[in-house]
Amino acid sequence: MEPRVLENEQVGEGDPPLVLIPGGLTGWQSWLPLLPALSERRRVVRVQSIPNAEGMAGNIGDGTYDAKVERDSIALTLDSLGIEEIDLVGWSNGGRIALDFALAEPRRVRSLTVIEPAAWWLVENRDESARRFGEFIVGCGGRALGATELRGFLVGVNLGGPDTDFESLPQWQIWWPCRNVLSWCSEAFVRSAEAGIAGFERLDIPTLLVRGRATAPWLGSVVDVLAEGISGADTVELDGGHASLLESPEDFTRALFEHLDAVEARI
């Protein structure tokens, strides 16, 4: 698969723009509740990652897609918009993508904010649930998915338990059309994702790490590993789980702008 310009949307004013990379299930629609507050102060660019765009269109994962394709697609998208420097924000798989891009293109990233990046391999030797989640995700690669797989993902990121009646929740109507996004997580993709953030300790960009107090333990442990390895990184905990940025939007927005203001003050 060749890199391409990603679907994107811009609102607000102010440079450098705030670029938002979504999680690996619901995609860029997940940022909508936060846009009014974010765009009040900054130009905001939402991008739709390739698996989100393709999976939500019903397309099953392409085994030639990997982390480099996504990374290069972000660069192409910024070039197409005439954007050189950005403040980068990513959630879940988007957090992993953001780390990857920042490591590959440090001159373009003024600041980095990552919310519970889904890099389970960083902690699979210390957390059995991380290893199981990784095996589950790879097992989703390249095939049409149904309710069983969607429920498995939701349990894996602690959005509910094994006995949760997910189908009765209002969010199910949002989650269900997104299920085939997970089919883009092939074994080859995971290997490239691991390679893309290897050596994250060398990151020399002001970094904010965000996690929810009630998130899955393995996701919280990933944030701990990153906090230990990235010099000068700040960590903030919010009420809520893996979607704490949406469960505590005012606290998330406040923490993000405090981070950005601190970056501005150093310039």
The yes-or-no verdict on residue 127 having pLDDT over 80 is: yes
The yes-or-no verdict on residue 8 having pLDDT over 90 is: yes
Name the percent of the chain lying above pLDDT 70.
100
pLDDT, residue 132, reads 96
pLDDT, residue 260, reads 97
Q: What is the mean pLDDT of the chain?
A: 96
Q: Tell me the pLDDT band of 181, cut-offs 50, 70 and 90.
A: very high
Give me the CATH topology for the region 7-266.
Rossmann fold (3.40.50)
Q: Tell me the pLDDT band of 158, cut-offs 50, 70 and 90.
A: very high
CA distances to 12, 73, 124, 209 from 243, in Å: 24, 25, 22, 14
pLDDT, residue 191, reads 96
Mean pLDDT for 98-126 is: 97
Q: Tell me the pLDDT band of 177, cut-offs 50, 70 and 90.
A: very high
Alpha helices in the chain (DSSP H): 35-41, 50-56, 67-80, 93-104, 128-140, 147-156, 172-175, 187-197, 217-229, 244-247, 249-266
pLDDT, residue 241, reads 96
The per-residue pLDDT for range 231-248, each reduced to its tens digit, is 999 999 999 999 999 999
Residue type, 186: S
pLDDT, residue 126, reads 92
Q: Tell me the pLDDT band of 266, cut-offs 50, 70 and 90.
A: confident
The per-residue pLDDT for range 34-79, each reduced to its tens digit, is 999 999 999 999 999 999 999 999 999 999 999 999 999 999 999 9
Chain position carrying tokens 């990046």: 117
By DSSP bridging, strand 44-48 and strand 86-91 are unpaired
pLDDT, residue 267, reads 74
Mean pLDDT for 136-144 is: 96
Q: Which residues contact 24 (CB under 8 A, 6 or more apart)?
A: 49, 51, 52, 92, 93, 94, 118, 181, 182, 185
Mean pLDDT for 3-8 is: 98
CA distances to 64, 122, 150, 248 from 193, in Å: 13, 11, 22, 29
Q: Are 48 and 29 in contact (CB under 8 A)?
A: no
The yes-or-no verdict on residue 202 having pLDDT over 80 is: yes
Mean pLDDT for 138-166 is: 96
